[in-house]
């Protein structure tokens, strides 16, 4: 816990300093006429000071280092999921909602959860169609058609 | 407008078929969300917020508030049967509720939880109906200095009564304020922290930020855990508590209702806080405090009443002042703004149908919840058995679609993913998301109020002291900031 607090407080103090610097770069004005950078500067300063306080406090903390927060958990799954989502967002407009969503769900069901192919494929298809029906058809959200429209001249 | 006119408007609005339907939809979704651990009320309201754009303002708010108080009912089911809180506000119910289930009294625990929530809900709605109009008229005396001070008090309270470190919570408030300042300056339109990205000119959108911080991060935390949850297999016999159970529970329900309502009013006071305080209070009042934690019905009845009453109390600062007291209220604020019905003292005058319609729909909603929660408990239990590995992709899809629907571009999705990672790391390193989101939402309002106050007073901070409401709010704020330092100062003096 001590190490965690030291690392995070240092990081946040750097963020605070950067924000304060950005705020100073905008006009700060004065008390009679605060300008755009006024509160940003002060928010950055406050964040920096609080972070430094936490950093100092962590040295006096009687808590030792507990078991690592990364041990005993499959943290890689969460990060893999994020990578899948980043790829999904990248292909979303180009491939269109239906195809990109189906692919994402297939990856989530198959590679993250090791479902059988038949289950993964059917769950992905059903979920994709259900989402399209609820949001695209019933609630009339305009999803990108993507490749279906461009190549196959097909639109839902 | 007299109370009789208000009742007429409220009843006629709430019983319109479309409003009845969406009240039912809202409380059902709320119960479902409460039952299924993995996505909280904030995430759900954020996901469904864009869907309400096609609805009328009254219908939208009726549905969204239904989700909020419905989740309190549903969360207790999981707490009692699985010992996992379905909602943060039902954490305390695990302590005695699960023990009652182990003793074969799950039905009684579930029944008393539902009845206690029902009674407290009605109490809260009555108080809301009586107090809100009075506070609305008082709110006309509020100017920028008062709003600024109340918001500062609310942010401070959210750090003081949170469950983690106050210092870390204050850091999250500062960070939240910074995030709230992204976009164009409200007075000069100067871009701030936008880095030339036109998507950021209007600031960070709240919906993807909340979905990421509370929805996506929660999924990441859940999928890294090994093993499935164990549901306590028990016959749900006898959902109706007996006379002895009622004798033990009536006073805790009464105390919980009163306490929860007033905690809910305080900016920063949440249903979770009210349930913890109620539990502590019941333990103090009990003749056998040592039995708490072993399956006492008072330990279920009081906190369940408190958390439901708090949801009603939380509506007061939102509807009368336009100041949200927690994350869900902030999302309701966004919904009201988007629908062109800004909350505050003018809401009651300009939109009495919305104001009273929502209040009266809560009467109906609480009856629906009692009906949904008691006879349908076996169905909710079956839902609990759906493996999380089937549920979480659905949750992800709803989050992604919700983020997309805000602006019909992928920018919202990108924001959601970024804040999902931030939220996940925050939870791992024990930084609370609540103070950050509250500061993020209140930040722009706070800045506008501060700058207006300084312009009015020609740069003098004495304006905050000369206004009585502002002065009292600031004094309370200072005392909450100084109070935690007292033990530290005492220790230092003792060492010297």
User: Would you state the pLDDT for residue B415?
Assistant: 94
User: Would you state the pLDDT for residue B179?
Assistant: 95
SS (H, E, C) A77-95: HHHHHHHHHHHHHHHHHHH
Taking an 8 Å cut-off on Cβ atoms, the answer to whether B397 and A142 are in contact is no
pLDDT in tens, B340-372: 888 887 888 888 888 888 888 888 888 888 887
pLDDT in tens, A67-91: 677 777 788 888 999 999 999 999 9
Give dist(CA A103, CA A128) in Å, integer: 10
Specify the DSSP class assigned to residue A29. B
Would you call A6 an interface residue with chain B, using a CB distance cutoff of 8 Å?
no
Q: Do residues A131 and A141 touch, judged by C-beta distance below 8 A?
A: no
Would you call B185 an interface residue with chain A, using a CB distance cutoff of 8 Å?
yes
Lowest mean pLDDT among A97-111, B56-70, B315-329: B315-329
User: Would you state the pLDDT for residue A110?
Assistant: 85
Find, among B73, B81, B84, B83, the residue nearest to B34 by Cα: B73
Residue showing tokens 């029902």: B118
B172, exposed or middle or buried, with CB in 10 Å at 0-12, 13-18, 19+?
buried
The chain-wide mean pLDDT, for chain B, equals: 84
Among the residues of chain A, which ranges form H helices? Answer: 2-25, 38-60, 75-95, 97-107, 117-131, 147-150
User: Residue A111 pLDDT more than 90?
Assistant: no
Q: Do residues B444 and B186 touch, judged by C-beta distance below 8 A?
A: yes
User: Would you state the pLDDT for residue A92?
Assistant: 94
CA A146 to chain centre: 24
Give the B window 429-468 contacts with A, CB below 8 Å.
Answer: 429-431, 447, 450-451, 454-455, 458-461
Residues paired with B191 in a beta bridge: B184
Q: For Cα atoms B423, A54, B435, give the angle at the middle one, nearest 5 degrees.
A: 40
Find, among A84, A83, A81, A97, the residue nearest to A131 by Cα: A97
Specify the DSSP class assigned to residue A37. T
User: Would you state the pLDDT for residue B225?
Assistant: 77
Specify the DSSP class assigned to residue B15. T
Give dist(CA B254, CA B385) in Å, integer: 34
Minimum distance, in Å, between the CA of residue A156 and any CA atom of chain B:
17
Lowest mean pLDDT among A63-67, B134-138, B375-379, B456-460: A63-67
User: Residue A1 pLDDT more than 70?
Assistant: no
Q: Do residues B34 and B84 touch, judged by C-beta distance below 8 A?
A: no
Residues paired with A89 in a beta bridge: none
Give dist(CA A54, CA B49) in Å, integer: 37
Taking residues B318-345, report their average pLDDT. 84
Which residues from chain B sit within 8 angstroms of residue A85, using beta carbons? 396, 400, 413, 417, 420
Read off the tokens for B271. Answer: 């249903």
Mutation site for B-interface testing, chosen from A57, A85, A123 by largest number of B Cβ within 10 Å: A85
CB atoms within 10 A of CB B70: 31
In angstroms, what CA-CA distances link B202 with B189, B194, B290, B488? 10, 9, 55, 43
In angstroms, what CA-CA distances link A114 with A73, A106, B280? 17, 10, 45
Number of domains in chain B: 1
Taking residues B386-397, report their average pLDDT. 83
pLDDT greater at residue B234 or residue B258: B258
Which residues from chain A sit within 8 angstroms of residue B52, using beta carbons? none
Minimum distance, in Å, between the CA of residue A132 and any CA atom of chain B:
10
Would you call B179 an interface residue with chain A, using a CB distance cutoff of 8 Å?
no
Out of B171, B178, B450, whose CB is closest to A44? B178
In angstroms, what CA-CA distances link B40 with B35, B74, B309, B417, B460? 10, 11, 19, 17, 43
Specify the DSSP class assigned to residue B228. P
- Give, for B191, the enclosing helix (H) or strand (E): strand B191-192
pLDDT in tens, A10-47: 999 999 999 999 999 888 887 777 888 998 999 999 99
CA B96 to chain centre: 23
Kindly give, in sequence order, each residue whose CB lies less than 8 Å from that of residue B469, ignoring residues fewer than 6 positions away: B141, B142, B146, B149, B150
Which residues from chain B sit within 8 angstroms of residue A109, using beta carbons? 389, 393
User: Residue B89 pLDDT more than 80?
Assistant: no
Give dist(CA A93, CA A85) in Å, integer: 14
Give dist(CA B274, CA B362) in Å, integer: 20
Read off the tokens for B429. Answer: 């390193």
Please state the φ and ψ torsions of residue B184, each to the nearest 5 degrees. Answer: -80, 140
Out of A15, A30, A75, whose CB is closest to B459? A30
Find, among B336, B408, B426, B374, the residue nearest to B236 by Cα: B374
User: Would you state the pLDDT for residue B340?
Assistant: 84
pLDDT in tens, B3-31: 778 788 888 888 899 999 999 999 888 88
Give dist(CA B40, CA B33) in Å, integer: 7
Taking an 8 Å cut-off on Cβ atoms, the answer to whether A33 and B220 are in contact is no
Q: Do residues A147 and A99 touch, judged by C-beta distance below 8 A?
A: yes
Would you call A62 an interface residue with chain B, using a CB distance cutoff of 8 Å?
no
In angstroms, what CA-CA distances link B140 with B32, B128, B134, B135, B359? 39, 18, 11, 9, 21
Q: Do residues B234 and B414 touch, judged by C-beta distance below 8 A?
A: no
Which residues from chain A sit within 8 angstroms of residue B451, using beta carbons? 34, 38
Which residues from chain B sit within 8 angstroms of residue A74, using beta carbons? 223-226
Domain range enclosing B53? 3-495
- Tell me the pTM: 0.82
Mutation site for B-interface testing, chosen from A9, A17, A39, A120 by largest number of B Cβ within 10 Å: A39
User: Would you state the pLDDT for residue B128?
Assistant: 86
pLDDT in tens, B150-196: 888 888 877 776 667 888 989 999 999 999 999 988 888 888 999 88
A139 to chain B: closest CA residue: B51
Out of B168, B175, B223, whose CB is closest to A77? B223
User: Residue A154 pLDDT more than 70?
Assistant: no
Would you call B175 an interface residue with chain A, using a CB distance cutoff of 8 Å?
yes
Per DSSP, chain B holds a count of helices (H) and strands (E) of: 24, 2
Provide the pLDDT confidence category of residue A125 given band limits of 50, 70 and 90. Answer: very high
Kindly give, in sequence order, each residue whose CB lies less than 8 Å from that of residue A127, ignoring residues fewer than 6 positions away: A101, A105, B393, B394, B397
% pLDDT > 70, chain B: 94
Q: Do residues B312 and B305 touch, judged by C-beta distance below 8 A?
A: no
Residue showing tokens 């509160």: A39
Give dist(CA B62, CA B253) in Å, integer: 26
pLDDT in tens, B393-409: 888 888 898 888 878 88
Q: Do residues A87 and B410 touch, judged by C-beta distance below 8 A?
A: no
Find, among B118, B13, B3, the residue nearest to B59 by Cα: B13
- Give, for B23, the enclosing helix (H) or strand (E): helix B17-35
Lowest mean pLDDT among B114-123, B225-234, B301-310: B225-234
Taking an 8 Å cut-off on Cβ atoms, the answer to whether B171 and A139 are in contact is no
Find, among B369, B368, B122, the residue nearest to B254 by Cα: B122
CA B333 to chain centre: 12
Please state the φ and ψ torsions of residue B432, each to the nearest 5 degrees. Answer: -85, 140
**At B162, is the secondary structure helix, strand, or coil?**
coil
**Cα Rg, chain B, nearest whole Å:** 22
**Strand pairing report for B191-192 and B183-184:** antiparallel
Give dist(CA A106, CA A90) in Å, integer: 17
Would you call B55 an interface residue with chain A, using a CB distance cutoff of 8 Å?
no
Residue showing tokens 């500067």: A41
User: Would you state the pLDDT for residue B161?
Assistant: 61
pLDDT greater at residue A129 or residue B240: A129
Give dist(CA B138, CA B460) in Å, integer: 25
Taking an 8 Å cut-off on Cβ atoms, the answer to whether B400 and A88 are in contact is yes
Would you call A112 an interface residue with chain B, using a CB distance cutoff of 8 Å?
yes
Read off the tokens for B270. Answer: 């949440």
Taking an 8 Å cut-off on Cβ atoms, the answer to whether A16 and B174 are in contact is yes
Taking residues B38-51, report their average pLDDT. 77
Give the B window 78-107 contacts with A, CB below 8 Å.
Answer: none
pLDDT in tens, B194-237: 988 888 988 898 888 888 888 888 888 888 876 655 555 555 56
Taking an 8 Å cut-off on Cβ atoms, the answer to whether A36 and B450 are in contact is no
In angstroms, what CA-CA distances link B134 with A53, B140, B281, B336, B448? 43, 11, 29, 21, 26
Lowest mean pLDDT among B55-64, B220-229, B457-466, B470-479: B220-229
User: Would you state the pLDDT for residue B41?
Assistant: 80
């Amino acid at each position: 816990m001590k190490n965690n607090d030291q690392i995070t407080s240092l990081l946040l103090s750097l963020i605070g300093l950067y924000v304060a610097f950005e705020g100073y770069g905008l006009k700060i004005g004065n008390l009679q006429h605060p300008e755009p950078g006024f509160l940003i500067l002060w928010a950055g300063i406050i964040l920096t000071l609080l972070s430094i306080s936490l950093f100092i406090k962590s040295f006096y903390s009687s808590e030792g280092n507990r078991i690592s927060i990364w041990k005993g958990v499959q943290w890689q799954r969460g990060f893999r999921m994020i990578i899948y989502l980043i790829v999904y967002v990248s292909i979303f407009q180009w491939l269109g909602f239906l195809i990109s969503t189906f692919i994402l769900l297939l990856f989530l069901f198959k590679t993250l959860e090791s479902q059988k192919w038949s289950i993964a494929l059917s769950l992905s298809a059903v979920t994709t169609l259900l989402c399209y029906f609820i949001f695209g058809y019933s609630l009339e959200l305009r999803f990108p058609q993507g490749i279906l429209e461009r190549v196959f001249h097909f639109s839902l | 407008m007299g109370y009789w006119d208000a009742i007429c408007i409220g009843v006629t609005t709430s019983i319109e078929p479309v409003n009845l339907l969406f009240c039912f939809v809202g409380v059902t979704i709320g119960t479902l969300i409460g039952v299924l651990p993995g996505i909280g009320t904030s995430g759900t309201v954020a996901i469904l917020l864009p869907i309400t754009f096609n609805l009328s303002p009254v219908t939208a708010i009726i549905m969204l508030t239904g989700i909020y108080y419905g989740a309190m009912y549903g969360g207790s089911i999981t707490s009692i049967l699985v010992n996992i809180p379905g909602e943060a506000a039902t954490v305390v119910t695990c302590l005695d509720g699960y023990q009652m289930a182990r003793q074969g009294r799950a039905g009684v625990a579930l029944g008393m939880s539902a009845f206690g929530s029902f009674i407290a809900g009605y109490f809260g709605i009555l108080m809301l109906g009586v107090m809100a109009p009075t506070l609305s008229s008082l709110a006309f005396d509020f100017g920028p200095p008062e709003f600024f001070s109340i918001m500062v008090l609310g942010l401070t309270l959210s750090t003081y009564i949170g469950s983690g470190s106050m210092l870390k919570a204050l850091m999250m408030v500062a960070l939240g304020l910074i995030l709230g300042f992204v976009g164009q300056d409200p007075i000069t339109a100067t871009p701030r922290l936008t880095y030339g990205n036109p998507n950021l000119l209007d600031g960070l959108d709240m919906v993807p930020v909340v979905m990421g911080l509370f929805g996506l991060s929660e999924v990441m935390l859940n999928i890294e855990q090994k093993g499935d949850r164990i549901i306590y297999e028990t016959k749900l016999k006898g959902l109706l508590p007996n006379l002895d159970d009622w004798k033990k529970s009536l006073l805790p329900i009464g105390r919980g209702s009163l306490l929860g309502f007033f905690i809910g009013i305080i900016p920063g006071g949440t249903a979770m806080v009210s349930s913890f305080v109620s539990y502590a209070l019941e333990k103090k009042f009990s003749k056998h405090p040592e039995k708490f934690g072993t399956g006492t019905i008072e330990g279920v009845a009081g906190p369940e009443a408190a958390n439901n009453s708090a949801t009603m109390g939380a509506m007061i600062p939102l509807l009368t002042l336009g100041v949200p007291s927690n994350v869900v209220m902030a999302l309701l604020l966004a919904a009201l703004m988007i629908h062109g019905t800004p909350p505050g003292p003018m809401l009651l005058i300009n939109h009495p149908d919305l104001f009273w319609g929502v209040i009266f729909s809560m009467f109906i909603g609480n009856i629906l919840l009692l009906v949904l929660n008691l006879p349908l408990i076996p169905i909710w239990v079956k839902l609990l058995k759906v493996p999380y590995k089937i549920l979480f992709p659905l949750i992800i899809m709803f989050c992604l679609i919700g983020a997309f629907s805000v602006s019909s571009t992928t920018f919202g999705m990108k924001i959601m993913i970024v804040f999902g990672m931030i939220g996940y790391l925050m939870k791992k390193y024990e930084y609370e998301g609540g103070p950050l989101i509250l500061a993020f939402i209140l930040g722009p309002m706070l800045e506008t109020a501060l700058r207006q106050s300084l312009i009015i007073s020609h740069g003098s901070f004495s304006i905050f002291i000369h206004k009585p409401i502002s002065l009292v709010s600031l004094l309370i704020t200072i005392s909450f900031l100084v109070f935690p330092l007292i033990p530290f100062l005492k220790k230092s003096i003792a060492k010297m």
